[in-house]
Amino acid sequence: MENKIITPKKLQGFWELMPKEQIYFSQMLEKLEKVFSSNCFLPLDTPILEYSETLLAKSGGETDKEVYRFSKGSTDMCMRYDLTVPLARFVSMHKDELNFPFKRYQIGKVYRGERPQKGRFREFYQCDADIIGNETLSIVADAECVSLFEKCFKALELDVEIEVSNRKLLSGYIQSINKEDKIIDILIVLDKIEKIPHDDIISMLKEIGLSENECENITKLVKTEGEFKKIEEKLKNFCKNPLFEEGLNELKELDNYLSLMGSKAVKYNLSIIRGHNYYTGTVFEGFLKGKKNLGAVGGGGRFENLCSYFSKQKMPGVGMSVGITRLFNLLMSENYFDLEKANEIDCAIITFDETFDYGIKISSILREKGIKAENFYENKTFKSKMKEANKRNINFVVIVGEDEIKEQKFTLKNMQTSEQEKLTLDEIAKKIKG
């Protein structure tokens, strides 16, 4: 009986790149990892699977619907939907062994069972760095995460604009008008302030219970942006609430530290809310310069107690995340990468029938010298092998003939310029490395 041929297809919403695309994506990850490491963040790699009671401890009803959850025997488990809850679990388990502030980075895939759409996937990478304190954590840590975010984009050779705010300003004002019980509803509306007309925002706030004056004041607050000194001047008498004043002082302290760190890409924009109930202080989002309409490519902020569901010990934290999957997709859509130049091969070894075996030896020697050398070992003619190298956009070929073996000098041909010269293997390696 003839076997049924299964039509190959991929699950919707799961990411898969072509090899040349993957080369560029992997290079981006390597650059980011180098930035994290050089700024004294330690690597962490938590499991993709966690106990359901762990992963769902901090989730709401909406998150539960998106989680991939299943059982194996009597074990109820989930696939991680972010890297933050596994971090909280890890820190809670190992708090007596870690040095605080604990600085960690993690780059890994996460899974969300939401409806796939443009720019949103069921499987995607998160690229996070966090600083966790024990009982207290200085605002210096907030500045370090904002600065780190800026350094990530500098390493990727992308211009980024970082917009920063502090959640305590909004929370303090809402507290001052005795609407704390409506804070989530208010923040949900204010989060749309740059997307819908002003009159619609006012109407929605009135429906929640704010007066005309309160609506105007809170929208004026949220629309405040620019250099910190100008913001401070505008807001110093805006609200006498202690939480509001604390937020303004924290923003001032943050601005000072960012200045000391040499940050160049930061501006202050109090419309940045970033989530409705997760962050408690500093919040920030990053946008590609001149392309804010494409949406944020990452961000982060301060959370007061990372491990509240796993430990009675207070552990404040601050973190940043580069939306690396979304960023890569945006860059791909704008033809940012020259895929023709992406190549896993530095040079091809071109042999004749009688020199084939020696070509194997040469490729091994060149690889030891750090050159990605590949043998074309199919049974093809010399001319066919040269055509193959040209088709694959390989920059160099090393031609191995009997005379070359006797002289121990091999013909290196630059496929872009057609220049060729006879060199030793050491000289070839240096030439290819540039």
pLDDT of residue 57: 80
344, 23 contact by CB (below 8 A): yes
pLDDT at 59: 60
pLDDT at 37 over 90: yes
pTM attached to this predicted model = 0.90
- Separation of alpha carbons 310 and 57, rounded Å: 9
231 membership: H or E segment, kind and range: helix 228-235
* More confident: 118 or 99: 99
Q: Summarize pLDDT for 247-284 with one digit per residue, the tens.
A: 999 999 999 999 999 999 999 999 998 876 778 999 99
Could you give the CA distance from residue 13 to residue 276 in angstroms, rounded to a whole number?
26
pLDDT band at residue 63 using 50, 70 and 90 as cut-offs: low
63 vs 155, residue with greater confidence: 155
- Segment among 8-12, 228-232, 284-288, 341-345 with least mean pLDDT: 341-345
Instruction: Write the CA distances from 333 to 26, 119, 327, integer angstroms.
Output: 18, 11, 10
Stretch 89-100: mean pLDDT: 96
Three-state secondary structure string covering 302-364? EECCCCCCCCCCCCCEEEEEECHHHHHHHHHHCCCCCHHHCCCCCEEEEECHHHHHHHHHHHH
Q: Measure the CA–CA gap between 413 and 389, rounded to whole angstroms.
A: 11
pLDDT at 60 over 80: no
Residue 299 is predicted with a pLDDT of 95
What's the whole-number average pLDDT of the chain? Answer: 91
Mean per-residue pLDDT, 228-241: 91
pLDDT of residue 426: 95
Q: In angstroms, how far apart are the furthest CA atoms of the chain?
A: 92
Domains defined along the chain, listed by start: 19-333 (3.30.930.10), 344-433 (3.40.50.800)
Is pLDDT above 90 for 117? no
Res 296: pLDDT? 92
More confident site: 434 or 363: 363
- Please tell me which residue, 193 or 27, carries the higher pLDDT value: 27
**Percent of the chain clearing pLDDT 70 (strictly above):** 97
pLDDT at 119 over 70: no
pLDDT at 349: 95
Does 364 have pLDDT greater than 90?
Answer: yes
CA distance 358 to 223: 71
